[in-house]
Amino acid sequence: MKSTWKAALAMATAATLLTACAGETGSGPNEKVTLTYANWSEDQTPAMEQIAAEFQKANPNITVKVQTLPWTEYWSTLQVGAAGGTAPDAFWMLADHFREYAKGGQLLDLSDTGLDMSVYPKAVTDAYTYEGKTFALPKDFDTNGIWYNKALFDAAKVPYPDDTWTWQDAQDAAEKLTDKAKGVWGIAAPIDPQGGYYNTILQAGGQIIKAGGTASDFASPASVAGLKFWTDLQAAGSSPTLKQLSDTEAVSMFENQKVAMYFSGAYWAFRFHNSPALKGKVDVAPLPQGVKRATVTSGIGNAGYAGTKHPEELKKFLAFLGGTKAAEIQAATGTVLPAYQGTQQPWLDSMPEFKLQVFIDAIEYGVPLPIAGNTAEWQGLAAEHLAPAWDGKKPVQEAAQEYQAAVDKVLAKQ
C-alpha cells in the first residue's frame, strides 16, 4: 500500500508541475495567458519550442511553455492530471489512448476551429474523431519500413533489402546476418504491435479487429501466420531474446549496431540522422511482402484539455499547431513527417542519405491503426499472452487464442 501511495503521489506531483506555470484567468483581449504544451520526446522538443516561439510572435499576449516527460511517465501523469484537473493545456495524443479520454469528456472539442480536415491523411483524422466531433488535430503521420545497417550487411555479404523482398527473404537475411560470436543479430523481434505483428497479420490477410469493433481476429489462420513470422525469427536465434529486448530496447540495439534490421516507423529518421555512430551506415527499405503489401499507419494528434482555464487561446494555439507553419518547421528540421498535405518535401530533403520516400509511398497500402473499445487496455495485454509463444514455450495458435479471448473480453465492456 505504501508503494502504491508513493507512486500516486509522484504522478500527481508531476501532473501539477506540468501546469505550475499556467496563467491566471483574466478579462479582456490583452490578458496575459500562459499555456502548457506536453510531449514525450526530447528529440522533438527543440522543434516544438520553435513552433511555440512562432506562435508567440503572432500572439504576444500568449506564452507557451513546452514540457517534456519521459515516455514511461507520460500516460500515467496525463491520466492523473486529466482526472484531477491539473492536466496540461495542450498535449500529444495517440490513437490507442484517444477514446478513453474522449469518452471521459476530458478533451476539448476542436470541431469549430475552421480547419480543413481534408489536408491530413484520413486514417489519422478518423482516429481522432469521436461521435462526429474532432478532439485532436493531426501533427504527423507514420508508416513502417525496414531500417537496416549497411555496414553489417556488407560485412555479411548480404544484399540490401528492396521492394521485391518477401517474408522468406527477410528471414533468410536475418539468419545470415546473425553472428553470435560478435554479439550481432540479424533482426530485432520484440512483441511490437505497430512496428511488428500488426503489419504481418495484415500482410497475411488477417484483420486484427473484425468489422464492427466487437471482436478480434488474432486466432484466425492468417493472423497466426502473421504472428508466426516473428516467433520463427526468435526460434531461429536471429533476434535477441525477449529478456534481452526487455533489458535494452530494440531501437537502442539497432543504434548500438547489435541488430542489422529493425522494422519500424518514419519517426526514427531524425534520431538515426543525428547519431554520429550511424553516419553513412543506415538506410530504409519497404516492409517485405506477405500475401500482400500492408503497413499500419497512424500519427500523433495535438489535443487540448477540456478543463483548461483558457479555451479560446488554447484553440488558437492548437489551430496553429495544425497549420502549415508548424508542419513546415517539423519538416525542415527533419523532426518528423508532418501530416499537413504538401509539406513533406522539406522532410525528405533534410535527410537525403535515407530513402525516406519509402514511408510516403507506403501510404498507398497503409491500413489505419486498429482502434476499438479501450485499445490501450487490450493492446497492453499482448506481452502477457504472446510472450510464451515468442519464447517457444507455447504453440502460436494456443497463445493467439488466449490473447483473442482476453481482447474480446475487453471489447465486450465498451
- CA 190 – CA 243 distance, rounded (Å): 10
What single string gives the DSSP state of each residue in 221-276?
HHHHHHHHHHHHHHHTT-S--HHHHHHS-HHHHHHTTSEEEEEEEGGGHHHHHT-G
pLDDT of 42:
95
- CA 144 – CA 122 distance, rounded (Å): 17
- Our measurement of the distance from residue 68's CA atom to the centroid of its chain's CA atoms, rounded to an integer in Å, reads 16
Q: Which residue has the cell 480543413?
A: 116
Amino acid at 297: T
Q: Closest by alpha carbon to 331, among 29, 44, 16, 91?
A: 44
DSSP one-letter code for 194: I
Contact in structure between 340 and 119 (CB atoms under 8 Å): yes
pLDDT of 4:
33
Contact in structure between 240 and 401 (CB atoms under 8 Å): no
Q: Closest by alpha carbon to 61, among 29, 84, 37?
A: 29
C-alpha cell at 45: 522538443
pLDDT of 113:
84
Q: Which domains, and CATH codes, for the chain?
A: 2-142+298-354 (3.40.190.10), 144-297+373-411 (3.40.190.10)
What pTM, to 2 d.p., does this model score? 0.88
Per-residue pLDDT reduced to its tens digit, 164-207? 999 999 999 999 999 999 999 999 999 999 999 999 999 999 99
Cα separations in angstroms, 277 against 119, 149, 182, 229, 281:
37, 11, 17, 30, 8
- Listed as ranges, residues in the chain with pLDDT below 70 are 1-29
Amino acid at 254: F
**Cα-based torsion angle of the residue sequence 270, 347, 112, 302 in order, rounded to the nearest 10 degrees:** 0
pLDDT of 9:
34
Beta bridge partners of residue 295, listed in sequence order: 366
Q: Closest by alpha carbon to 286, among 168, 153, 170, 158?
A: 170
pLDDT of 23:
40
Q: Closest by alpha carbon to 310, among 105, 36, 57, 115?
A: 36
Contact in structure between 381 and 218 (CB atoms under 8 Å): no
